[in-house]
Amino acid sequence: MRKKLKMIILFMLTMVLFLSCGKKDNQIQPEKNTITIAQGADAKSLDPHATNDQPSSRVICQLYDRLVEQDNNMNISPYLAESFEQPDELTTIFKLRKGVKFHNGEELKASDVKFSLERMKASPQVNHIIEAVSEIEIVDDYTVVIRTEKPFGALLNHLSHTAASVLNEKYVMEAGESYNQKPIGTGAYKFVSWQSGDKIIFEANEQYFLSAPKVKNLIIKNIPENATRAIALETGEIDIAYDIDIVDKERIRNNEKLVLLESSSFSMTYIGFNCNKTPLDNIKLRQAICYAIDIAPILDVVWKGSASKANSLIGPNIFGYNKDAKIWNKDIEKAKELLKEAGYPDGIKVKIWLNDNQARKDIAVIIQDQIKEIGVDLALEMVEWGAFLDQTSRGDHEMYILGWSTVTGDADYGLYPLLHTSSHGGSGNRSFYSNSEVDDLLDRAKHSIDQEERKKFYARVQEIAQEEVPTLPIAYSNMSVGLQKNIEGFILNFAGHHKIFGTSFKKE
C-alpha cells in the first residue's frame, strides 16, 4: 500500500512538472497579437481638444479620424469625408462616408462633425488651428458645409490636424468631465485602459471603415529615458521605439534583429523667453543671451550630425520658410555690451525649465556653461511634463526649452501659434510675445489666397522674430524610430504622428 502511494505521488509530481514546463514554453513563445511601442513622455490628455503636445497626438491619431488626411507627400485626401469641393474661396462642402461607426456603435453623422469642430473652436488650447472658420452648416446627415469669413488657404491642412478629430456628440455629452478617462472615436484602435505614467492599452476596432487592424492589441508605453527605451527595444520588451537617441543609433543600426528608420521631419527645437515677465521682458537681455550661445557644439553633442542649425521657427521643408532670416552667431563682446545696456553690468541670475528629456537637458547644460562667460547664471529646474505644460501656459516660467512640429506643412501653423498675441499660453505662444506688426502680418498671410503674397508676409515675420528673439530656434532635427526586424508596414509620418494601422508582424 505504501509502495503504491509513493508511485501515485511520484506520478502526480511528474505531471505537475510537465504541465509547468508546458506553460513556461507557451510564455516564451507567445502569439504575436500585441504591438508594444515606447515614447519619451506620457500623453497629457486623450481629448484632442484639451492639449496640443506631441506625446498626446501620437496616441490621439490611433483613436480618432478626421475629415481629411495628409499623405506622405503632404497631399490632402478625403478620409471620414468621401469627397469635398470648394465652390468658392469661402466655402468647402464635405460629403461624409456612410456606415462609419464610433467605438460605441453609433454611426458618424454630420452633427458629430459640427459638434466636434465647434468644441474645438471653444478650446483655448487648439482654437487657433481653425480660428478662420466662421460657420459649420449641416445640410443632411452626410453633408457638412464649412465657411470662413475670409479666404483661408490652409483650411484643409489644418483640418488634417489631430485636434480636428471627430468625436461622438452623444457620448461626449453623457461622459462630461470623465470623457478623458474613457475616450472613443472612429479610429483603428479602441481605448481599453490608461495607467498614468506607465502605459495606455488599446484593442483593435474590428469595425474600422478601412478594414480591421492586422494586430489585435496595441500598447503605448511611457519610457522617458532614451537609453532605457533603446535597451527595451534591444531586449525585445518593446516592438517599436520612438525618438532614438543619437548615442544609440549606431548600435541599433548594427543589430541584426533591429531596423533603424530615419527621415527629415517638421520638428524644430527652441529656447523660449517669457517676454511678459521680468527680467526677460528686456529685449537687450534676450539678445545678449543669444549672442553668448554657440549652437555648433550643441548640434555636435546633442544631435551628432542628425540636425542642422535653425534660423527660424519653421524649417526649409515648410511653405513660407525664409532662408535669409537672421542666424545668431556667438559674439561675446557684443553680448557683454548688450547685457550692460540691459542694466545688468555685473550679471544676472535666470532660471530655465526642463521636462524629463535628455536632449533638452544636454542643451541646457551646454547653454548654462556658455552664458556664464558673460555673467548670466542659469539655474536648471526639472518640471514634470504635465506640470511643465500647465505652468508654462500660465506664464510661471522665465526660460524654457521645447520643440514644435509644423504638422500642416504650412507657415501659418508654425508661426501663428508661437508668435501671435491671441495664442498666448497653451495655444503655443508660451513666450507671451506680442508685436502688433507681427500680428497684422500673420493675420494678412492667413487670409490671403495669393501664395506669393503669403510668402512675403511670412518672410517679414521671421525677420522680426529673429531680431526680437522671443524664442531662439536651435535646430531642425531628423526623426528616428527603431523597430524589431519582424515588424512590417510601419510608415514614418513627417509630423511624428505615426499611425499603427497597417503595421503588423511578418509571418514566420
For the stretch 406-431, pLDDT in tens is 988 889 999 999 999 999 998 899 99
Query: What does the pLDDT average to over 322-351?
Result: 97
- Is the Cα dihedral 303, 309, 313, 317 positive or negative? negative
Question: Which letter does DSSP use for residue 328 in this model?
Answer: -
Q: What is the pLDDT of residues 20-66, one digit of tens each?
A: 444 444 444 455 899 999 999 999 999 999 998 889 999 999 999 99
Q: Give Cβ neighbours of residue 206 (< 8 Å, ≥ 6 apart).
A: 212
Across the chain, mean pLDDT equals: 91
The three-class DSSP label of residue 477 is: strand
Question: What pLDDT is attached to residue 265?
Answer: 83
Question: What pLDDT is attached to residue 14?
Answer: 41
Q: What is the pLDDT of residues 463-503, one digit of tens each?
A: 999 999 999 999 998 889 999 999 999 999 888 899 999 99
Question: What pLDDT is attached to residue 25?
Answer: 42
Question: What pLDDT is attached to residue 468?
Answer: 98
Exposure b/e, 280-316, CB count within 10 A at least 16 = b:
bebbebbbbbbbbbbbeebbeebbeebbbebbbbbbe
Establish how many alpha carbons lie within 13 A of residue 66's alpha carbon, considering only the half-sphere containing its beta carbon. 22
Q: Give Cβ neighbours of residue 440 (< 8 Å, ≥ 6 apart).
A: none
Question: What pLDDT is attached to residue 30?
Answer: 52
Question: What pLDDT is attached to residue 247?
Answer: 84
Smallest CA-to-CA distance from 205 within 227, 183, 226 is with 183
Label residue 2 by pLDDT band (50, 70, 90).
very low
11 is written with which cell numbers? 506520478
d(CA 438, CA 436): 5
Label residue 300 by pLDDT band (50, 70, 90).
very high
d(CA 74, CA 68): 12
Are 281 and 397 spatial neighbours (Cβ–Cβ below 8 Å)?
Answer: no
d(CA 153, CA 413): 12
Residue 184 reports pLDDT greater than 90: yes
Provide the CATH number for the domain formed by 34-42+187-264+479-505 in this structure: 3.40.190.10
Residue 18 reports pLDDT greater than 50: no
Q: Give Cβ neighbours of residue 14 (< 8 Å, ≥ 6 apart).
A: none
Question: Which letter does DSSP use for residue 400 in this model?
Answer: E
Q: What is the pLDDT of residues 345-357, one digit of tens each?
A: 999 999 999 998 8
Query: What does the pLDDT average to over 306-323?
Result: 93
d(CA 172, CA 174): 5
The three-class DSSP label of residue 280 is: coil
Query: What does the pLDDT average to over 64-79?
Result: 88
Question: What pLDDT is attached to residue 31?
Answer: 59
Question: Which letter does DSSP use for residue 157 in this model?
Answer: H
> Which class for 107: exposed (0-12), middle (13-18), buried (19 or more C-beta within 10 A)?
middle
pTM of the model: 0.75
What percent of the chain lies above the pLDDT cut of 90? 79
Are 353 and 383 spatial neighbours (Cβ–Cβ below 8 Å)?
Answer: yes
Query: What does the pLDDT average to over 103-118?
Result: 98
Query: What does the pLDDT average to over 202-215?
Result: 97
> Which class for 444: exposed (0-12), middle (13-18), buried (19 or more C-beta within 10 A)?
middle
The three-class DSSP label of residue 205 is: coil
d(CA 413, CA 389): 19
Residue type, 361: K
Query: What does the pLDDT average to over 93-111?
Result: 98
**Helix (H) or strand (E) run with residue 200 in it:** strand 199-204
> Which class for 265: exposed (0-12), middle (13-18), buried (19 or more C-beta within 10 A)?
buried
* Superfamily in which the 267-477 domain is placed by CATH: Dipeptide-binding Protein; Domain 3 (3.10.105.10)
Smallest CA-to-CA distance from 225 within 357, 402, 353, 354 is with 357
* Superfamily in which the 67-169 domain is placed by CATH: Dipeptide-binding Protein; Domain 1 (3.90.76.10)
| Summary count for the chain: helices (H), strands (E) | 15, 21
Smallest CA-to-CA distance from 49 within 150, 246, 183, 142 is with 183
Are 36 and 232 spatial neighbours (Cβ–Cβ below 8 Å)?
Answer: no
d(CA 352, CA 382): 9
In the chain, CATH 3.10.105.10 sits at 267-477
Query: What does the pLDDT average to over 168-196?
Result: 96
Q: Which spans in 448-506 are helix H?
A: 451-468
In the chain, CATH 3.40.190.10 sits at 34-42+187-264+479-505
Question: What pLDDT is attached to residue 405?
Answer: 87
Q: Which of 208-212, 292-296, 495-499 has the lowest mean pLDDT?
A: 495-499
